[in-house]
Structure 1
């Protein structure tokens, strides 16, 4: 799908807060509210807008531990990496999963209530997986910047 300048401007505003009315977005980009809504509908249907979600505060929900896992696999074949990816992405604790280039094969962001829950996650997903050569963990002390709008290149 080709995005024009108006699509890009709408996306830039919309991703910051999806509750902003179409009238307000339209006033900023020079379109009617109906035209903004038609464009948003087209952007959803084409897959440019993947989801519209709420950003929640982990600690207020009792999720006090965020861990960044770097995982090195033994077998890096497509089948083996897909099996690992499918296993960890099925876990609710895994909020993000990235296949990466470099010394490690995967980086996971794991959010759990406490260290006991983190240990249980490691036991279930990493420690006894014959394809996990090693993993390293960083426990997040301060989430200085958790989620930000994407910088949308102007076509």
Structure 2
């Protein structure tokens, strides 16, 4: 599979450069995590590698491994922070696979018994709500030593 070139102008690259705002949850040398501004559920967040990668097809294996370590930390933290019953982890590749933003990213969605995911409408969530959820998740990460 041949993928298209990485676009330095994508929204997540702009977040990494500080050109767009984000509700940061976690950061280390290799990865960055923040709240999804169009969440499909309470606590929906994203983890991305800092190194440029369009998607799973062109990511460096070491960068992918670091990303998965961060995803696992976030999965544990969102369940703890929000009292979730479980978590859904999603990752999409290329338009046919559902990818919309072309910087590799993983969705971490806290799940609650009997509560369906909201549809992706393209509407942004209340920033104060996202900020409070980010605060709770950061606090859970700090308790766990992340």
TM-score by length of 1: 0.28
Structure number with larger C-alpha Rg: 1
Q: Report the structure, 1 or 2, having the larger helix content.
A: 1
| TM-score normalised according to structure 2 size | 0.29
